[in-house]
């Protein structure tokens, strides 16, 4: 299975790793069948994600997609972060092998879970804004290997 240089770089040198002590939104998603678990921390001020970090237990692709996803939403508005798709994460990494697409889905869902937590902490029902958090690919299947 071949990985792009960007995937290898984000795996070997992940950005924004660790807990964010002053996070006002924390989301965790996981896939029990393959064991990948992503925890995303966000700090939102004036509708902007001013800081973001992650902790991921998983394969190299899971770490790389988490790293890239944080880079893509840092400094962006909540609305822009909600528009981030797993396909955009994969494109930013110059692609992923088909059996690793689920990692990019988890990264997208981890961001949404963190934003849902942020809204709940504000006393706002997140589901009309963020949608439901799902932990499988768009076909309802699970591609863990």
Q: How far apart are CA 7 and CA 53, in angstroms?
A: 18
- Please give the pLDDT value at position 145: 45
Which tokens is 103 given?
């990692």
Q: Considering 20, 93, 103, 114, which one is annotated as catalytic?
A: 103
Q: What is the pLDDT of residues 29-64, one digit of tens each?
A: 997 677 889 999 999 999 999 999 999 999 999 999
Domains of the chain: 5-128 (3.90.1010.10)
Q: What is the pLDDT of residues 120-141, one digit of tens each?
A: 999 999 999 998 876 554 444 4
Q: Is 144 among the residues known to form the active site?
A: no
Identify the CA nearest to 84 among candidates 103, 67, 99, 104. 104
Residue 27 dihedral angles phi and psi, to the nearest 5°: -130, 140
Q: Is 103 among the residues known to form the active site?
A: yes
Q: Considering 34, 93, 110, 114, which one is annotated as catalytic?
A: 34
Angle at 139 between CA 70 and CA 72, to 5 degrees: 15
């Amino acid at each position: 299975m071949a990985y792009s240089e960007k995937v290898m770089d984000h795996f070997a040198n992940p950005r924004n790793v660790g807990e964010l002590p002053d996070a006002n939104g924390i989301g965790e998603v996981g896939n029990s069948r393959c064991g990948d678990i992503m925890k995303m921390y966000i700090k939102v001020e004036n509708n902007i994600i001013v800081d973001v970090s992650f902790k991921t237990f998983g394969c190299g692709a899971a770490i790389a997609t988490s790293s890239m996803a944080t880079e893509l939403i840092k400094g962006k508005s909540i609305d822009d972060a909600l528009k981030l798709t797993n396909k955009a994460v994969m494109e930013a990494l110059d692609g992923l092998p088909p059996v690793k697409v689920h990692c990019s889905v988890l990264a997208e869902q981890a961001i949404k879970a963190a934003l849902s937590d942020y809204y709940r902490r504000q006393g706002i029902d997140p589901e009309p804004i963020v949608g439901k958090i799902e932990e499988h690919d768009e076909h309802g299947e699970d591609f863990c290997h």
